[in-house]
Amino acid sequence: MEKENSGPLGQMQVLDRALDEYESKIGLPTFNEEDGDNGVQKYLSMSREQMEKFSLEDCAQAAILLGSFSFHIQRCHNRECARAKWADSRLKGLIAGKEQQYSGSWDSQFNQAVKDDDFAKSLLKLKNYAQQRADRLTFLSTSVKNMSDLFVNLQRAKVMK
């Protein structure tokens, strides 16, 4: 067990389990990255004409599904941000003091120190990967939530007719 968690990936998995446990304690369902698309694709790519043909119930169903998907995307974003921050913190702690033996700017010294440490290289790779994933998800949750709100507003407009 100790050997399994000794590398950066194993340690990050320990972090993920701790985050899952915390989320469970505050009442969130178990996190599952595969929970993604539950039929939301059709709502996200629908034309205005198709939306206007929806019944009140169809609008409500679309809004609920998109709202749920928005929550899922935000949760994925938060997880990747936590991973990146964890890896960055571990990396800074691991390299602290070692960078002074190298010359150049602080960034250069830091990168040279990381290059000479396999564990640090793995941490940096994890950090960069998590940050890239988080960057990719930035604002997507809000965009999907806006689509959900669009269906709510359409439903309200239909009630007013």
Cα dist. 43→69, 94, 122, 136, 156 in Å?
Answer: 11, 46, 39, 21, 18
What is this structure's pTM? 0.77
Q: What is the pLDDT of residues 133-144, one digit of tens each?
A: 999 899 989 999
Structure-token pair, residue 115: 């290059």
Domain boundaries, the chain: 53-160
Low-confidence ranges of the chain (pLDDT < 70): 1-5, 29-38
User: CA-based angle 116:123:87, to the nearest 5?
Assistant: 135
Q: What is the pLDDT of residues 43-71, one digit of tens each?
A: 988 899 999 999 999 999 999 999 988 99
Q: Residue 135: which of 80, 72, 61, 66 has the closest Cα?
A: 80
